[in-house]
Amino acid sequence: DGLDALAALLVECRACPRLVAWREQAAAHPRASFRGQTYWARPVPGFGDDAAGIAVVGLAPAADGGNRTGRMFTGDRSGDFLFAALHRVGLASQPESTSADDGMVLTGVRLVAPVRCAPPANKPTPEERRRCGPWLARELALLGPGVRVVLALGAIGWDAALRTLEEQGWPVPHPRPRFAHDAEVVLERPDGGAVTLLGSFHPSPHNTFTGRLTPAMLDATLGRAKRLAGI
């Protein structure tokens, strides 16, 4: 389908020299625990339901996470926390996502990102985010008006999602709505219909180890996303 064709094009992208170098360097110098593994080391396509009602927007793959496994949010602790929650609320077939061929099936949800290559220190530059934005916009356009909820993880993911959508022709209010855990903003789609943008603290160890984001909090936000998406 169109999403597969988009992914086939995406994985060939080498538009950001700094990120191409970083994703390949991570593969050449894996962390001790991943030594001997073959890293994906390419742009990471969206993962999940082609008919998703919820798009979860992170920021970018982690060098030893998605950049290693080739699947969004797979292979790092943020992803472990997210997939466990997706499974608890009935959106994921398994509680753990360990590799791109572990049989995981997501229903009703798709995991996407505004930046598809692992950036140094998990921080893409504004230019890299701008360059990558059209991939996300095309993916959302192909998913179509069935996507009723965009769940942005973390302030950076929230801002990146809003800026990307705005640059791709979505009418975004000004000043741009600010991130908060449980923030909720209704956005009109350029192709008709509306999307509710929800915010959640990012499930990074920094937030989950400190209890800033608990499993119950993420479950509640995902439950809200499900209701808004009619799932």
Residues that bind ligand SF4 (CB under 6 A): 10, 13-16, 19-20, 43, 115-117, 128, 131-132, 135
197 φ/ψ angles, rounded to the nearest 5 degrees:
-90, 120
Query: Measured from the CB atom, is 53 or 61 closer to ligand SF4?
Result: 61
Query: Measured from the CB atom, is 5 or 216 closer to ligand SF4?
Result: 5
Minimum distance between the CB of residue 122 and ligand SF4, rounded to whole angstroms? 13
Query: Measured from the CB atom, is 99 or 125 closer to ligand SF4?
Result: 125
Closest CA to 113 of 172, 84, 73: 73
What contacts 24+ positions apart, CB below 8 Å, involve 104-109?
106/47, 106/48, 106/49, 106/52, 107/49, 108/49, 108/52, 108/53, 108/54, 108/226, 108/229, 108/231, 109/48, 109/49, 109/52, 109/53, 109/54, 109/55, 109/56
Query: Measured from the CB atom, is 19 or 198 closer to ligand SF4?
Result: 19
Beta bridge partners of 149: 54, 196
Amino acid at 147: V
Q: CA 52 to CA 60: how far, in whole Å? A: 20
Query: Measured from the CB atom, is 167 or 219 closer to ligand SF4?
Result: 167
Minimum distance between the CB of residue 19 and ligand SF4, rounded to whole angstroms? 5
Minimum distance between the CB of residue 225 and ligand SF4, rounded to whole angstroms? 25
CA dihedral 80→85→86→92, nearest 10 degrees, is 70
Minimum distance between the CB of residue 56 and ligand SF4, rounded to whole angstroms? 18
Query: Measured from the CB atom, is 19 or 112 closer to ligand SF4?
Result: 19
Minimum distance between the CB of residue 228 and ligand SF4, rounded to whole angstroms? 29
- Which secondary-structure segment (H or E) carries 159? helix 154-167
Minimum distance between the CB of residue 140 and ligand SF4, rounded to whole angstroms? 15
